[in-house]
Each structure stands twice: as C-alpha cells, then as structure tokens.
Amino acid sequence: MVENRAARLDGVFGAVADPTRRAILAALARGEATVGELADRFPISLNGVSKHIRVLERAGLVTRDIRGREHRLAFDARPLQDAAEWMDRYRVFWEARLDALETLLESRRRSRRRR
Amino acid sequence: MVENRAARLDGVFGAVADPTRRAILAALARGEATVGELADRFPISLNGVSKHIRVLERAGLVTRDIRGREHRLAFDARPLQDAAEWMDRYRVFWEARLDALETLLESRRRSRRRR
C-alpha cells in the first residue's frame, strides 16, 4: 500500500538522519555485534546506544537475535532499497548539472588550446 | 569537513523523512512554484506548507527567489547527491540478497526441468 510505503520511508529516512545511527549501521555492516560491544565503540551511554538501536529496529534496518541473555544485532539493508529508489528519481537532476559542468569545462579547455 | 558533511546529511535525511515534504519536492521537480501555488495543491494550511518549505530550505533542497511580493521556490537536487552517495555504500548489501535469490530460483528451475 502507498501509505505503508510512505510510512516506511519516513521511518528509514528519520532513522538515518543522525550521525550516531549512521555509524551504528556502518559498524553492523562490517559484522554482527551485541548491544554491549556496540556501546563500547561509541562515546555515549549504553542507554543512549540502546535508544538509537530501537529507532533503527523500528525502521527495519537492524534485527535482534536473542540467545539467552545475549542480544545479537545485525544490519538489514532491505529498507534502504526503497529509500534509494525514491532518491534515484532525482539522480537525473544532479547528473544533468554535472554533465552541464563537464561540457562547460570542456569548451573552456578547447578555447584555451585555440589561443 | 567531515562534521559539516554529517550535519548536511542529518538535514537532508530529516527533511525527506516526511511525506508532505517529499510531495513538495516532487512538485517542485516538475517546475518552480510560489508558496501560494504549492499550498493550493496540498490539503494543509498555508502556514503548514510554509513550515515544511523552511525545513526543505534549511536542508538546501529548496531555493527561494524573492521578486517583489512573489516568492518563487525551486528544487535543488545537489544535497541529495551526498545522501545518495552515503546510501550507495550499502547498495551491495541488498543487491547481494537479490543475486542470491536469483541464483536460488535459477537452481530450482533447473532441478524441476531435470525431473
């Protein structure tokens, strides 16, 4: 449903709109970790890290596997695919700008050679 | 600077984490518009639309050209480029999943043909 997709995009974009949460994703993309292991790597409290992880879980970007007292966290990139698809619609806009810049630089290079 | 880049990413992702703001960007990507013209297209108050536009301006996604009493708004895709670059780092993760799925489906298709 369109509404669900919009809500999912809100969640994903909101989740990655924070430098600590982006750093947590980068860490988990290198491999699974426990909450404690992640907390050791960031200069914020365990409670602070836990809050960020919950935001990432709600967005579907982090999954939690509970084995006894150990909570293992893993990165799930799938929600980013929707977000990237939304962004790809606008790729043409900045690529057009870069193309125009390249054409401009090329024509300057040519006119210099002619001098 | 890395810190500035992080703050810019926070602003861009935060700005697009809202369905009305994404719809405003989509409308402006089709062409410039005044605040009033935009407000007419959305079922929220002029004040509500103005607030969303300010968030988009702070993120650098919308520029405002003031001609007398007319404020013309335009879409600027450049900040999305940084955001897309951040996202592209993770593209390999969901593409790997899709490749794995394709391989699985292909091997199922083959084993069925053999029967």
Chain B residues whose beta carbon lies within 8 Å of the beta carbon of residue A8: none
State whether B78 and A86 contact (CB < 8 Å). no
For range A21-26, the mean pLDDT? 96
pLDDT of residue B3: 66
| Paired residues of A33 in beta bridges | A73
Q: How large is the C-alpha radius of gyration of chain B? A: 21
Whether pLDDT at A105 is above 90: no
Q: Using one digit for the tens of pLDDT, what is the confidence trace for B45-84?
A: 999 999 999 999 999 999 999 988 889 999 999 999 999 9
- Chain A: closest CA distance from residue B113 (Å): 31
Give the Cα-Cα-Cα angle A8, A13, A17 (nearest 5 degrees). Answer: 150
Q: Using one digit for the tens of pLDDT, what is the confidence trace for B21-52?
A: 999 999 999 999 999 999 999 988 999 999 99
- Which of A14, A81, A93 shows the shortest C-beta gap to B17? A14
